[in-house]
Structures are given as C-alpha cells and as structure tokens.
Structure 1
Amino acid sequence: MDLSRPVPPEPYSLLPSVPSFSLTSEDMTDGGHLDPAFSAGGSNTSPHLAWSGFPEQTQSFLVNMFDPDAPTPAGWWHWTVVDVPTDVTELQPGDGSSDLMLPGAAFHVRNDGGEFDYSGAAPPAGDRPHRYVFAVHALDVDTLDVDPEQSPTLVAFTAVFHTIARATLTATFQA
C-alpha cells in the first residue's frame, strides 16, 4: 500500500458551515483509537453514541460513519441510519445491527459493502491509520424521503440541504 498518498481533508470541512452540538461515546473519544471490537475483524459491533445540545427546531437525525482515508476516490460509507426521531438521542452498542430496533421510521440504507447495517472499520492491512468519522446531523425535516436502496452518498447529498447542525466524533483504526 502506498502510504505516501495525500491525506484527504476532514470530510465535513468541505460542506457549508453549520452549528455544532455535542456527540459523545462510552466506547471512544474524539481523536482516540477505535477499539478492535468495532472493526470488521473484531465483533463488528456499532459503538455507543449519545448527542445533546442540538437546535430546538430539529425534526429528525441522520447518523453515519465514514472513512475518508479509504483507498478510493470517494472514501467509504460504513453506516447510515436515516429518519431517526428526535426522542432518540442515544444508540447503544450493537444498535447498528441489521435488525435495527429504533422507534419511529428509522432505517438503514445499504453501506458501501452492500449490507443494511453497521460495517466495522476495515482499513487494508499495512495501510496508515484510517479516520472513522461518526456524525449525527440535525435535520429540519422529519424524513429525508429516501429509501433503503439509495446510496449513502445520495443520502448525504440530500441531507446537506436539510442539515441545521452537525456533531462529529473521529476515531482512528489501523489493521
């Protein structure tokens, strides 16, 4: 693997600026290392996430995990949960499994690996540490009006026009 390739910018720094709110986890810290349990080679379990301080006018959330360091021109979407209701402000470890059991109309869209669930960190062996950006987007609509077969890139594009605030937490992992 060519470790001399340039490091892509922080993905959300390229989008229109929006206010931030708090995103925390009992399983990781911003800028820290992702536990192997949350990798594809470990338990492949989604980590705990909790958020607060989002705008009062929020009508739903979008939750996702993105690897901007994947050796592709477009990064790699590991997880996308759409239409999370505003009374859900925390996901427990494993909530990203294929049998998503959140209240309301929340659902997964297919990740870049082709599955409808959380796909753990999986950088190529020997590659530099990859950044895994967990994001919660506060939206001004109660539904993004997308379906599970649409790509996470299309969901992210649609969300840009409805995002009123965003919280991120980035952890690194290396195989």
Structure 2
Amino acid sequence: MSPDTVSPDTRFRLSSQALPSGSVVGPQQLVPELGGENLSPDLAWELVPEDTASFALTCYDPDAPTGSGFWHWIAWDIPADARSLPLGLPREDAVVKQAANDFGRIGYDGPQPPPGAPHRYIFTLHALPVAELGVDPSAPHVQARFAIFSQQLDAASFTVTYKAS
C-alpha cells in the first residue's frame, strides 16, 4: 500500500504545541535579531514505523534565496523509544547529536528571512533503521543529511511560515 492510500489516522505523525502545522512562527522560535527567544519547538510523534532503531530531525527553509534553501536544524541519534523532544533542546545535548546549521551554529536557529514573501519552514522527523547514524557532528551537515535521507524508513513532516517585514 502506498503512503498516499494509508489512512491519516494510521500514518507516522509529527506535531508541535509551540508550532502547530500551518501556523506562523511566533517569538519563542524566532532568532534574537527579530525579538525572539530562539528556542527549538517542542515536538511529539506517534505511529512509528516498524523496524525504527532511531530518529533524525531536520528543519529546512526551501524559500531561502540561496539556490539550495537553508538548513535551520539537523539532529540525529534520537533514541527509538523517544516520542518527543522538549521545548528548547540544548545545543549540546548528552544524547542527541546536532550538526552546525547554515548559520554556522550547532543545533536549532529560528527563522530570519529577508523582507519579502513568506518563507516555509519544514520540520521533518525521519525514522531510521540504525541506532546510530555514524556521522561526526563536526562534519558538514550535508554528510548527516545524506546518511539520513539515504536510509530513512519513513518521514513525518509539518510546515509553518514566517514573513519578515
């Protein structure tokens, strides 16, 4: 059965109380330059695919004027028994590995788009068949993203927006 024919009630799902799907990013998740607190959102997931041995997380802005988008968060080695991440995950977490984002900082950094059209921020949780991704967090995030996307069993996403004035 293809993912498109599976009932939404039985599909892998990702959600956030701080950033409900389709919402506009609020001050808690914005960078300080825009008056924000720059806290990663709380995340929760359910209906995990069979054979999941760990999770990885990405946050991506496909609308950034770079030709290749902008990566706000790349995290992996989230344990298979986890079903949530807290609001404000520390940049140096004891369990979850995080790469430097496109701002050049480890962990999550919120929206800071140039003035103009709204930007989309896609949060995706990737179910992986391996307990450890085997990528050095100090390596460029493209290495972690390649390992994540080439191995994922399934992924759950939601999208939020933000428009700079």
Q: TM-score, normalised by structure 2?
A: 0.87
What is the percent sequence identity of the aligned residues? 37
2:60 corresponds to: 66
2:37 corresponds to: 43
Higher percent of residues as helix: 2
Deviates more, 1:84-93 or 1:151-160: 151-160
| CA apart distance, 1:152 | 2.2
SS at match of 2:59: strand
SS at match of 2:146: helix
- Separation in 1, partners of 2:65, 2:157: 22
SS at match of 2:138: coil
SS at match of 2:28: helix
SS at match of 1:155: helix
1:142 corresponds to: 131
Q: Say if 2:28 is the partner of 1:34.
A: no
- Separation in 1, partners of 2:29, 2:159: 13
- Separation in 1, partners of 2:146, 2:18: 28
**Matching of residues 1-150 of structure 1 within 5 Å:** 21-40=12-31, 41=34, 42-95=36-89, 97-102=90-95, 106-124=96-114, 126-150=115-139
- Separation in 2, partners of 1:58, 1:67: 26
> How many residues get paired?
154
Structure 1, unaligned stretches of length 5 or more?
A: 1-16
Instruction: Give the aligned residue type for 2:12.
Output: F
| CA apart distance, 1:101 | 4.2
How large is the Cα RMSD of the aligned pairs? Answer: 1.7
SS at match of 2:153: strand
- Separation in 2, partners of 1:152, 1:108: 9
